[in-house]
Amino acid sequence: MKTNDKITEDCGTAYNNGMNGEIDPEKLIDLFKKFEKKEEQKKRLVISVNITLFILYTALAGSQTGKTALGYLLCGLGFILGAAYLYFRYRPLPASAYTLPILEYLSKTEKRLRYFTATDYIILIPLLIIIGIGGGLIFTGRLTQYTDKDGLLTVIWILFFTGLCLFGYFAGRKNWLKDNRDIHNAVKDTLKSLNGDSSF
């Protein structure tokens, strides 16, 4: 929280310290570097959790049979692919990016700061489908010993998992708005003021 508050405060400073009341691009570069350091800590934590889940689910698959074992394997696959996605999605900008013209650098920064991009959806939706199918196989596989209503169990799982995904999406967006909206808006406003483009 203190880090987020500091970044928000510094965003205001970037506005106030700009020449003629404009936003100071150099100040925003410093802010983005702070943002990357904060995101790197989060990324390492979530990747560690995903790798741990991959190891756990893969190990559990060895003690299961049939579709339950397949479910554990699919979940493990989804978690390790998710870890790879996080690693590449939230890599810091390379050092060469800081030698780019300011407009090109800020454009890359603006894209990096978005909550989700089209590419994120293209990657994440299949990953969630893999985990969802795996979880469904585990759920139905374990409960079919108590009931033969596979169809009902499948519907229950689909509703639960879809609700879980939607909750995660909107809860994540709420956190993003709280933590990153100010710096994202500051970068967008700077781009607009520098090139007169209002298409962001």
> Is residue 8 within 8 Å of residue 182, measured between CB atoms?
yes
Count of positions (residues) in the chain: 200
Q: Where are the alpha helices (DSSP H) in 2-149?
A: 2-17, 25-61, 66-89, 102-113, 118-143
* Pairwise CA distance, residues 28 & 109, whole Å: 10
- In this prediction, residue 9 carries a pLDDT of 52
- In this prediction, residue 36 carries a pLDDT of 84
**Helix (H) / strand (E) containing 179:** helix 150-195
- Give the residue extent of every domain in the chain: 2-195
Q: Which single residue is written with the structure tokens 């689910």?
A: 57
Phi, psi of 46 (to 5 degrees): -70, -40
Please tell me the pTM assigned to this model.
0.80
**CA nearest neighbour of 115 among 167, 168, 177:** 177
* Pairwise CA distance, residues 162 & 56, whole Å: 23
**Tens digit of each residue's pLDDT, the chain (200 residues):** 444 555 455 555 554 454 444 566 677 778 888 888 888 888 999 999 999 999 999 999 999 888 999 999 999 999 999 999 999 998 888 878 778 888 888 888 888 889 999 999 999 999 999 999 999 999 998 888 787 888 899 999 999 999 999 999 999 999 989 888 888 888 888 888 777 644 44
- In this prediction, residue 44 carries a pLDDT of 93
